Every structure is written in C-alpha cells, then in structure tokens.
C-alpha cells in the first residue's frame, strides 16, 4: 500500500495558462475514435429512409422485395416498430417528436424518417433503403415563411414571449431621431463535420449506446424515458464528438438504432447522411425582425421595439428568441420586445450556437449603427450612452458589465480612433473599404452537475464527469481546473468524460458546460483535499469523493449574468462583382475567467468565423414547390472555407464571475454574437448601403453597390 | 441465362507501406474500405460526396478525397492515411504544429486537414501555382507560401469549428520548417504558450493580401 497524498509541494496556477489539448495527440494522429468508429462483432448497419413529401400520410411501404435483397436483415417502420413514449418531460423539456420515429403514418415535413433498413453491410443497407418503395397520400403543404403571416402567435420558449413597458408610440413621436427597419436572417444549419451516429447494443441486460452527442446523461435519460427502461439499465458513451453546436441531442438515429438492436439482438449502427442531417438534426429558424428605435439628438434611447418572428414545425414548438437580446443590451423609456412564431410543414428548428442572440444581435446592433449614423455619434459612444444600469426588463443588477472595457480595448487595438465615419470614401483598387463594430452578449449560467474525483494510490487523480468535449477543449479545461483545486500539476490529473455512468451533468450547451462541470469538479476536489489532509494514506482502491452542485447553484442570487464583447471588422467590397471580403476581425470579450487561453482563443475565433459565415455565406433555401431544400449538402450550403477567413484576433479583458468558484462565465457562444452586425456595418461604411438581409450575397451587393456610387457622387 | 456477375472482388491495397488483401463490394469506396474493413478510422466521413475534405488521403503522394474513390480502383497505388504520417512515436512537423498551435477543435476534420497540408507543402515545393498566385509564368519561380496561398490551397478542407486561423498558422509554420530543413539549419520553436497573436505587422500584411 502506498501512502501518497497530494504530494510534497502545492501547485496552483494551471488555470489561466495555455495548455495544448490533452487528447491532441490522438486527434492529430487519427487515433481518436468517434461514435461510428468503434468496431463490434456482428455489427449490422441501419440506413434511414426519409419521406419525399412535405405533408401527408404513408399509404404503403413495399417491404417484401427489399427483405429479399442480399444482406437485408429487417425493415422497421410504423407498422412493426416498437411503441415508444414521447409524452414525458426530459432534462431540457418535452422531446421533439421527430425523434420518436415510426410511431404513426403521418408525415409532417420533407425528410421525415419513414423506415430503417438494416443489413449486414452499409452498401447493402443503402441500396435496399434506396430501393424501398413508399407510397404516400400527399396533402398540400405550406412552407412559406414571411413577416406577413397572419397566423403568427407570441411564443414563450425559455423566456417570456412579450415584454412591454412604457408608451412606444408617444416616445417614438417625441424622439428627435427614429430608426424603423426590418432585418431578416435565413435558415441556417449547424453542419458539424461529424455526422450524427450511434451504435446501439444490448450487453448483459443493459442497453449501451455509443453516440455522438452533447450530453451523455441527457441522451441516456431521454432514451430511458422513451423506451420505458430503468435509467440504470441504459448507458450512453460519447468519447469524442465531431462538433455539435446545438444539434446533437436525442435524434432519430439513436432511437432507430435502439429499436433495431432490440429487434435483432445485435449491435446496430445508424449514421445519418449529410443530406439527412438537413432535415433530421434541427437548424436555426429564419427570422424576420422589426426594430424601431427612437432617441434624443444625443443618442439616448427613448423608445426601443424589437419584434422577431421565427418558425417551427407542426409537431413541436421551438422559439428562436431573437428579441431577447434587447432585454439585456439597452434600456429605453418605452421598451417593447416580442418573440413570435409561425407553424409550417417543416422540420423542428433547435438551439444553434447563440440561439436568439446570433440573429437578434444582427438586427439590433445593425439598427444601433443606423441610429449612430443618424445622430452623428460614434457607434461606440452611442453604446456607452445607452449602457443600462440594471436589466432593462428584469430590473435586476448586472453581476458584471464590462462591455465598455471591451470597446475601449478593442478600439485601441483596432485603430478605431482614426476612422472617418463617413461611408463610401475609401477605395483600394477595385475594393471599397470600410470598418464596423457591434456589441456582443450572451447569458452566463450554470446548471447542476455531479462529479467524482478519486485520489489514486499511485499519487495521481482521476476525475469522472459526464461532460462532453465537442471541440470546446472541456476535457483540457477540466484538467486544469481539477489540478488547481487539488493543488497539483495537471499531469497528475486524468479527466474521464462522455459516459453517462459518471452521473448527472449539464450538457455541452448554452455556454454553460465547462462552468457547470468545473464547479462540480472543484467542489469534489476541495472535499477530497480536506480528506487527504487528514493524512490517513490512500488505500489501493483510492479515496473517492462525489459532488453535486444542485444546492449551490440553486442558491445563486437572481442577477443579470452575461458575457459581453466588442466586435470589429474591416471589409473590402467589390461593387462590380458584388464580392465582400472580410479583411480582418478583432473581438475583445469580457467572458469570465479564461481557463485555457490557447483553446479559449480558438473558441472565440471559431465563433467569429461563424459570424463571417453567417454574414456572407450561409443560407438554406427551401423550395416552395417540394417543401424540401435546394442543395442540402456542403456544396449547396456553403459554410466559410479557408479562403473566406482572414486573420482573426480574439482577446479578453479581466472579468471573473464573482459568484463562480473558478470565476468562469462561459465562452462558447458570445464569439458569434454581434459578428455579423459588425460585418454588415462595415459593408455600409464601405459602400454607403445598409444590408439588412443576410447573407450579404453578391446579387444583393451588386444593385445596392451601384446606388452607393451614385450617392457618393451626389 | 448467364450467372449473375460477382459484385465482390478480392483486392490488395497498399496503405501506409503495408499490404492488405481484402474482399470488397465493388461499390465500396476507398474511405469505407479503410474505415470499415481495415479499421483505419483516422480518415473521416464528413459528407461522403467529396465536398468537405475530411476523408483526404494521399494517393501516390497527391491529395485525394477517398470517399470519391472506389476501393477497387485504388489497387496498386500507394495510399497514405493519417495513421501513416507520424514517424513512429515522433509526430510529423505538420501534426506537431496543429497540436502546438491548436489548429483544430473537435478534431473531426483534422486528419483531412493534415493530409491536405502535406499535399499543399509538396505541391508548393514542386512549384505548382494556385488560383491566387499572381504570376504563374514558369520563369516567375515558386510563389512564396503566404497565408493567402495556404488558404486558397486548403479550401477543399472545411472546418466547421472555425479553426482556420490556427490551421493556416500551423501549415505556415510546418512549411517554413520544411523549407528551413532543406536550406538552413534554422529551427522554429512551437508557440505552445502563445495567447496573443496578430501584431500590427500581421494586420497590415493581411490587409495587403485581402486587396492584392
């Protein structure tokens, strides 16, 4: 027996120091195994068959010829699939019934799963799935989204649908300057590089699912409820996850894989195709937003209205809460916000990186820029004059509010002071040049989690937590947090994540993952250190402490808790081709204590890269006739590629969260917020034309750009 | 009636210097042969239709998307996958640069990015121009491997996490080391602990590039 305790010297200071990813070597050598890459004997392959109509009923499935095809093992569909329960409340609310596959004959959208063909090889499964004849009773569908829908209704989602204070019309009438504009954002897709994949198998009476998800205990809980299983008899593992961005929760592929594994009593793997991901994994709803701002001549807001319309499916309600951002950012005597929804024959949208804030900040921050122009005030000064003292709607104090510090540091580093505010003046060859800025914010929250920390007999420590590292660097961040909490060097800490057997934990989402998990790890480590200082020595099985942060997080005082940021962009616009190039970007963030500067910078820059993509490229176009997408793949849906992305700088100001044990706020989402607005504002500064509809495509720039020339000449 | 033609063949693939003999369905792509038959899952399947670059391997030293290559057509060719890039335990300089500079996040596009970067460095060293090469006349010589050249040449490899900035830095660092190796003994220290990047010089260089 060894009597190692925490070591001879205490170490503190891993948090805040750059560390390469602990799983980095596995990722650069190809050794890291993702969900579809773990081999099993007798593995069978499932291939989903999805609807080719947007609304109607399945009349028949001609399974007999398919079942005779080589290698085909079964075809699951609504006549023979196990019944599941989708009438429950899971960790994050009621499930999207899209995941409860093969329960009825109704088709609510194009690309709805109607069958799963399972075969010995992927080639056989795919061929049989493509050969399966499905006949439908087609009904007329409605996929037309516009701001004019009379059937739109106010919808809550995770925040109040409507907030109203003051008399909007009279304050607008009394305003010296008014901005009244409509902004639109298109349907956008997460498009993680790794397609959703799950392998399900029964192992000694337990259901095991190897999956690519953002929360193993989340998916475990959903599957247990859906299949009416004891949660302890379900284990979900998710070691490496190839991106998620909000799309990797409970989806059709896991449920179909479990059904097939149960029916065949063999391991079954179901991997979505890239095309299927466009209809089965959620997306960001298009939005139509109307902003009305009224201000005194000095720019102080008297009136603010932010109304947003988004869409959802006919089977599940999801709100893209774009008007929520106005409830945090700016106050006004009359302050009205509303999130509204229309139901169409489309798949259900879901959370996508900065839900609400990403499209909402585009509209609001572009409108602020228009107001600055009309008032003749610098855009940063305008934001300084309208910094709220308390939550504009809640009336609660801010835990910290370091937006202006971000703007100050950003302005200094970007060279903002030298900027001539007049638009359309700078030319470099065929390029018109401009710069723009915008504010960013995202909620800083924490959710209860449990962690298990063990002092091993060999002097190392093992941390077990059902966290997910979807590329955020969480595994490495938690290693540093645990090292500091244990007062040892990080090389003595082994963090194991992605296994529902480790106990309940927050998902990787809402910028709350690392903060929530770090809290639980810190709590367990602190208690373990106390136990170790008693000096009793470590038995061979180690000493293990489990934490649960439910009570601590439940005791947090009600405050406005947010990360903030200042985005800066410089663009070049060629008005003869319509091309917009982002030349450089700078983002300065106040986002809590930064655990690992190396990976944190990557996350901020990644978010800003999403901002470029959102501003200039991404747009899923729905064909009104068929109800499906044009080009539902990575050629038809362009996400920013290498050549689209210039050098991007991201940095931060000191902003530790006063109520978090580590000082963390969360950094996954704030990087995209405001980024598209900064780019759109820069395009205006370059050309003199406001682009209120994303993406700013060449065909939108071409006619508008010519107008700018005229304006400038005038 | 003639018997149905066989839809399987036994083929031999040369992967990372090893010969593998395996029966494959004629429809099996090289990517699926690697992943499903040889358990070489480092090559990733992001789209299965040649649009994302995650499955990039080197075929006879040149970049290829293995999802658009039938396994039966890859017989007799030298196939290099991510598993064959390192020299035993010693990472290739491109791999090391990705690791040191955080040229990835989720890691799923990474093997393709690294294989593609190897191709880029070789193509550049061989004097191949790209769409952004200003002067493509043979007498103009090899263009410098600027950030803009790297971005253009790497654009077949999507990274949804948005790690492009670090990837470009990693490729530039590895390419510089590659060049230095062949010309001078100068070495580069990996910037493992860099938290600030983008000096004023960087920015003005970027600006020149964007408007070139």
C-beta atoms of B165 and A21 within 8 A? no
Q: Is B131 domain-assigned?
A: yes
A153-200 per-position pLDDT tens digit:
999 988 999 999 999 999 999 999 999 999 999 999 999 999 999 999
CB A572 within 8 A of CB A581: yes
Q: Can A669 be counted among the known catalytic residues?
A: yes
**pLDDT tops 90 at residue A704:** no
* Same domain (yes/no): B125, B176: yes
Q: What is the pLDDT of residue A711?
A: 47
Burial of A688 (C-beta count, 10 Å sphere; 0-12/13-18/19+): buried
Is B191 within 8 Å of chain A by CB?
Answer: no
Determine, yes or no, domain membership for B38: yes
What pLDDT, on the 0 to 100 scale, is given for residue A712? 41
A703 pLDDT tier (thresholds 50, 70, 90): confident
B188 domain residue, yes or no: yes
Q: What is the CATH number of the domain that holds B100?
A: 1.10.150.120
Number of domains into which chain B is organized:
2
Question: How far apart are alpha carbons A168 and A290 in whole angstroms?
Answer: 14
Residue B1 belongs to some domain of the structure: no
From the list A123, A428, A642, the residue facing B28 with the nearest CB is A123
Position A6 confidence tier, pLDDT thresholds 50, 70, 90: very low
Among candidates A354, A351, A361, A308, which has minimal Cα distance to A330? A361
- State the DSSP H helix or E strand holding residue B9, giving kind and residue range, or none if neither: strand B8-15
In chain A, whose CA is at the least distance from the CA of B29? A123
Check whether residue B97 and residue B178 sit in a common domain. Answer: yes
CA distance to partner chain A, nearest, from residue B140 (Å): 23
Which of A572, A586, A598 is closest, CB to CB, to B210? Answer: A572
Is B155–A37 a contact, with Cβ atoms under 8 angstroms apart?
Answer: no
Segment A483-531, tens digit of pLDDT: 999 999 999 999 999 999 999 999 999 999 999 999 999 999 999 999 9
Same domain assignment for residues B157 and B111: yes
Looking at per-residue confidence, does B195 or A372 come out higher? A372
Instruction: Looking at the structure, tell me whether residues B45 and B134 fall in a common domain.
Output: no
State whether the Cα torsion A679-A681-A683-A686 is positive or negative.
negative
Kindly report the pTM of this predicted structure. 0.94
Q: Is B124 contained in some domain?
A: yes
Mean pLDDT of chain A: 95
Chain A contact for B32, CB < 8 A?
yes
Q: Which CATH class is domain A24-32+447-554?
A: alpha beta
Bridge partners, A187 (sequence order): A620
Residues of B in contact with A634 (CB under 8 A): 46-47, 51-52, 158
Asked if B121 and B198 sit in the same domain, the reply is yes
Q: In terms of CA atoms, which chain A residue is nearest residue B193?
A: A18
User: What CA–CA distance (Å, rounded) separates A177 from A189?
Assistant: 37
CB nearest to B166's CB, from A36, A584, A602: A602
Which chain A residue is nearest to residue B91, measuring alpha carbons?
A: A29
What whole-number percentage of chain B has pLDDT above 90?
75
Domain boundary among B64, B84, B104: B84
Domain final residue, candidates B84, B117, B133: B84
Shortest alpha-carbon distance between residue B127 and chain A (Å):
20
Consecutive H or E run containing A355: none
Domain that holds residue B124: 93-207
Shared domain for B166 and B102, answered yes or no, is yes
Instruction: Provide the terminal-to-terminal Cα distance of chain B, rounded to the nearest Å.
Output: 66
Pick from B39, B41, B162 the residue to mutate for testing the A interface (most A CBs within 10 Å).
B162
Segment A423-464, tens digit of pLDDT: 999 999 999 999 999 999 999 999 999 999 999 999 999 999
B193 and B123 part of one domain: yes
A133 near B CB under 8 A: no
Q: How does A334-355 read in b/e, with b if 16+ C-beta sit within 10 Å?
A: bbbbbbbbbbbbbbbbbbbbbb
Asked whether residue B212 is assigned to any structural domain, the reply reads no
Report phi then psi at A119, rounded to 5.
Answer: -145, 175
Residues of chain B below pLDDT 70:
1-4, 181-212
Query: Residue A88's pLDDT band (boundaries 50, 70, 90)?
Result: very high
Domain assignment present for B136: yes
| Per-residue model confidence (pLDDT) at position A261 | 98
Residue B2 lies in a domain: no
Both tokens of residue A65?
């010829």
CB-nearest partner of B109 from A24, A193, A603:
A193
The whole-angstrom distance between B74's CA and the closest CA on chain A is 18
Are residues B70 and B148 both part of a single domain?
no
Task: Report residue A537's pLDDT band, with 50, 70 and 90 as the boundaries.
Answer: confident
- The rounded distance, in Å, linking the Cα atoms of A358 and A328 is 14
Cβ count near A706 (within 10 Å): 14
- Percent helix, strand, coil in chain A, to 5, is 30, 25, 45
Tokens of A579: 């091309």
Pure H helices in chain B: 30-32, 93-101, 110-125, 147-153, 164-183, 200-211
The domain boundary, picked from B40, B60, B84, lies at B84
pLDDT at A97: 87
Q: Indicate whether B188 and B126 sit together in one domain.
A: yes
Domain shared by B118 and B55, yes or no: no
């Amino acid at each position: 027996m060894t009597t190692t305790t925490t070591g001879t010297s205490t170490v503190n200071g891993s948090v805040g120091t750059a560390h390469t990813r602990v799983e980095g070597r596995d990722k650069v050598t190809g050794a890291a195994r993702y969900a579809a890459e773990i081999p099993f004997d007798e593995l069978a392959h499932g291939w989903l068959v999805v609807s080719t109509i947007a609304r109607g009923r399945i009349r028949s499935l001609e399974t007999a010829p398919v079942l005779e095809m080589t290698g085909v093992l079964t075809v699951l569909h609504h006549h023979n699939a196990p019944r599941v329960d989708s009438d429950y409340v899971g960790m994050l609310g009621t499930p999207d019934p899209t995941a409860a596959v093969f329960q009825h004959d109704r088709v609510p959208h194009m690309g709805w799963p109607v069958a799963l063909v399972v075969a010995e090889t992927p080639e056989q499964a795919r061929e049989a799935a493509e050969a399966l004849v499905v006949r439908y009773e087609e009904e007329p569908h409605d996929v037309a989204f516009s701001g004019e829908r009379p059937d739109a209704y106010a919808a809550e989602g995770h925040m109040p649908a409507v907030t109203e204070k003051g008399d909007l019309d009279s304050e607008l009438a009394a305003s010296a300057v008014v901005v009244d504009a409509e902004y639109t954002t298109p349907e956008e897709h997460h498009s993680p590089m790794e397609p959703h994949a799950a392998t399900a198998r029964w192992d000694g009476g337990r259901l095991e699912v190897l999956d690519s998800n953002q929360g193993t205990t989340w998916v475990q809980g959903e599957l247990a409820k859906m299949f009416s299983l004891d949660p302890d008899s379900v284990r979900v593992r998710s070691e490496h996850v190839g991106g998620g961005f909000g799309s990797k929760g409970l989806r059709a592929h896991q449920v179909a894989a479990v059904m097939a594994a149960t029916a065949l009593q063999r391991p079954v793997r179901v991997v979505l195709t890239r095309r299927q991901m466009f209809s089965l994994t959620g997306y960001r709803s298009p939005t139509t937003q109307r902003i009305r701002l009224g201000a005194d001549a000095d720019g102080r807001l008297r009136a603010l209205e932010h109304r947003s319309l988004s869409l959802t499916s006919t089977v599940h309600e999801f709100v893209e809460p774009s008007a929520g951002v106005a409830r945090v950012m700016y106050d006004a005597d009359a302050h009205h916000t509303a999130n509204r929804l229309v139901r169409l024959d489309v798949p259900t949208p879901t959370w996508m990186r900065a839900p609400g804030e990403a499209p909402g900040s585009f509209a609001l921050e572009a409108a602020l820029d228009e107001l600055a122009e009309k008032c003749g005030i610098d855009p940063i000064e305008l934001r300084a004059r309208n910094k709220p003292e308390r939550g504009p709607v809640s009336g609660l104090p801010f835990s910290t509010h370091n937006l202006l510090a971000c703007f100050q540091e950003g302005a200094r580093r970007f060279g903002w002071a030298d900027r001539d505010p007049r638009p359309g003046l700078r030319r470099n060859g065929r390029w018109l040049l401009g710069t723009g800025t915008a504010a960013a914010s995202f909620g800083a929250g924490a959710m209860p989690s449990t962690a298990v920390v063990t002092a091993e007999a060999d002097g190392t420590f093992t941390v077990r937590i059902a966290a997910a590292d979807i590329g955020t660097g969480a595994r490495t961040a938690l290693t540093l947090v645990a090292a500091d909490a244990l007062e040892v060097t990080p090389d003595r800490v082994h963090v194991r994540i992605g296994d529902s057997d480790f106990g309940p934990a927050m998902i990787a989402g809402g910028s709350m993952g690392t903060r929530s998990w770090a809290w639980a790890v810190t709590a367990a480590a602190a208690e373990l250190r106390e136990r170790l200082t008693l000096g009793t020595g470590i038995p061979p099985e180690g000493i293990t402490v489990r934490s649960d942060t439910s009570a601590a997080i439940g005791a947090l005082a009600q405050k406005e808790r947010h990360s903030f940021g200042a985005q800066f962009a410089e663009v070049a616009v060629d008005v003869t081709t319509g091309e917009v190039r982002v030349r450089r970007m700078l983002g300065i963030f106040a986002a809590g204590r930064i655990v690992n500067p190396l990976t944190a910078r990557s996350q901020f820059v990644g978010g800003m890269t999403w901002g470029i993509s959102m501003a200039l490229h991404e747009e899923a176009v729905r064909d009104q006739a068929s109800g499906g997408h044009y080009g539902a793949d990575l050629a038809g849906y362009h996400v920013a590629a290498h050549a689209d992305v210039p050098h991007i700088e991201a940095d931060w100001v000191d902003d530790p969260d006063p109520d978090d044990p580590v000082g963390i706020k969360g950094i996954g989402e704030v990087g995209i917020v405001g980024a598209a607005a900064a780019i759109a504002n820069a395009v205006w500064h370059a050309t003199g034309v406001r682009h209120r509809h994303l993406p700013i495509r060449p065909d939108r720039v071409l006619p508008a750009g010519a107008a700018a020339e005229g304006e400038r000449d005038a | 009636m003639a018997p149905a033609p066989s839809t399987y063949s036994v083929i031999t693939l040369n992967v990372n210097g090893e010969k593998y003999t395996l029966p494959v369905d004629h429809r099996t792509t090289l990517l699926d042969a690697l992943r499903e038959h040889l358990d070489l899952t480092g090559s990733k399947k992001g789209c299965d239709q040649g649009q994302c670059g995650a499955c990039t391997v080197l075929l006879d030293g040149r970049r290829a998307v293995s999802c658009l290559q039938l396994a039966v057509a890859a017989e007799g060719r030298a196939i290099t996958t991510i598993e064959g890039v390192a020299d035993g335990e010693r990472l290739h300089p491109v791999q090391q640069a990705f690791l040191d500079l955080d040229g990835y996040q989720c890691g799923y596009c990474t093997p393709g990015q690294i294989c593609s970067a190897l191709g880029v460095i070789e193509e550049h060293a061989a004097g191949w121009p790209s769409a952004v090469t200003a002067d493509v006349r043979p007498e103009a010589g090899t263009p410098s491997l600027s950030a803009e050249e790297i971005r253009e040449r790497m654009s077949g490899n999507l990274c949804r996490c948005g790690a492009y900035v670090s990837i470009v830095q990693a490729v530039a660092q590895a390419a510089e080391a590659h060049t230095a190796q062949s010309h001078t003994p100068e070495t580069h220290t990996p910037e493992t602990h860099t938290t600030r990047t983008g000096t004023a010089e960087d920015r003005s260089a970027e600006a020149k590039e964007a408007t070139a």
